[in-house]
Amino acid sequence: MGAIKGRVGHSLKIECPNCEYTWEEKPPSLGVVKMTDLRSISRGSKRSRTKVYLTDGYGRDREFLWLDFGEAKMLTRGDDVPKTWCLQSYLAHGATDFEEDSAITLTLPLMALELEMVLGHNVFFKALIDPRHEGDFRVPRPGYNPLLHQDTYICTRDECRKHPSGEHPVVPEGFYTPPFDYELFEAVKCRPVQVVMISQGIGNG
């Protein structure tokens, strides 16, 4: 029996090959799923660190560090059963889109979220990647950095100059969130993950 049916029951109607197999039968395709370090472009990376492991829940030898980034935000969404959550991180340096909305490093839809452990200031969750909300799956691959895009510019509005954070980058249209990656979504949807939120002390990430 696949991981998703073991976690949320047989009544959930999802057509997905990933949820029917164990880790050994169908491991994640590492040709598509590669370790992605976003600490240099995500907000709060000096004071917080978030790691997302693909795992089957049976030990460190069967998990893969997939995402590594700074400060994270976990939001509940809608009235889905099982409940949908969204793991989110903002771009560093106060980056916004042209409407002055904080630009986002990644969003990852999760379901069947459970608190696994609190160890010191480290918090461990386990969850499944929610296949029902592909529009919320905005996860980049290695090398993604809209802060270096040729059309990114520095905002010099008077209101921003007066703000304690000062002037900030404005990313071009289409990079408020990373573009949807169909191939990556298909490779990881329904997969079990462990999310680790780590406090690293006070800093100016």
User: What's the pLDDT tens digit per position in 6-53?
Assistant: 565 544 555 666 666 666 666 777 689 999 999 999 999 999 999 999
- Counting the structural domains of the chain, the total is 1
Tokens 């029951």 correspond to 9
Predicted confidence at residue 8, as pLDDT, reads 58
For 83-137, the pLDDT digits (tens) are 889 999 999 988 887 777 788 999 999 998 999 999 988 999 999 999 989 999 9
Task: Provide the pLDDT confidence category of residue 205 given band limits of 50, 70 and 90.
Answer: very low
- The answer to whether position 88 is within a domain reads yes
- The answer to whether position 204 is within a domain reads no
For 144-158, the pLDDT digits (tens) are 999 988 887 888 766
Q: What is the mean pLDDT of residues 59-78?
A: 85
Structural domain that includes position 128 = 3-199
Predicted confidence at residue 197, as pLDDT, reads 96
Judge whether residue 78 has pLDDT over 80. no
- The answer to whether position 101 is within a domain reads yes
pTM for the full predicted model: 0.85
C-alpha 129/C-alpha 77 separation (Å) is: 14
β pairing state of 168-170 and 153-155: antiparallel
Judge whether residue 162 has pLDDT over 60. no
Predicted confidence at residue 11, as pLDDT, reads 46
Residues 6+ apart with CB under 8 A from 40: 92, 145
Predicted confidence at residue 203, as pLDDT, reads 47
- The answer to whether position 7 is within a domain reads yes
Tokens 């969204």 correspond to 86
Judge whether residue 184 has pLDDT over 60. yes
C-alpha 1/C-alpha 117 separation (Å) is: 25
